[in-house]
Amino acid sequence: MSVTFYGQTADGQPIALDLEDPAYVSMANANARALLGFLGLDPGDELSGEITMHEARRAVMGARAPFERRAPNFTREGTDAQRSGRCRAVEGGIDAGYLARRLDDFQRFLNAVVAKGATSTGGENRGRSGDTTHAADGASKSRVASASRSSSTV
């Protein structure tokens, strides 16, 4: 289960970067949830939706200013658990270095899709079944992330 980010033009056309593009961004749902929270955006239940490019860039700048103070609130220890009769479950942790790298990655992604004409950005959640939740598809979806400083949808 992962979230892949995309750009969108003013007329609603998606701008998807190729997997080999250095600015392509995709991450596990738990990591996307942590990054969006660190950016000051509410990830919502389905991890899909859009925000304007202005809001996305403002969120990145806002996250960089108090980085050292806020980053520890979004880190987590890895876990490795196995209960009798059950499969082993391993969840990777994230540290401040990971958040810093992903913040840089997200900013590089924003710059790349803006260069291709994007006026907004969003995330697409690929669930367990391989189905995609994409807020731009016109279906009624819960808000993926709304800017905590405004009422826009991410």
The full set of domain ranges for the chain reads 2-77+90-147
Confidence tier at 127 by pLDDT (50, 70, 90):
low
Per the CB < 8 A criterion, the answer to whether 30 and 98 are in contact is no
Instruction: State the pLDDT at residue 9.
Output: 97
Residue 12: partners with Cβ closer than 8 Å, 6 or more residues away: 136
CA-to-CA distance for 131 and 46, rounded, in angstroms? 12
Q: What is the mean pLDDT of residues 81-99?
A: 78
CA-to-CA distance for 2 and 31, rounded, in angstroms? 9
Instruction: State the pLDDT at residue 146.
Output: 33
Confidence tier at 10 by pLDDT (50, 70, 90):
very high
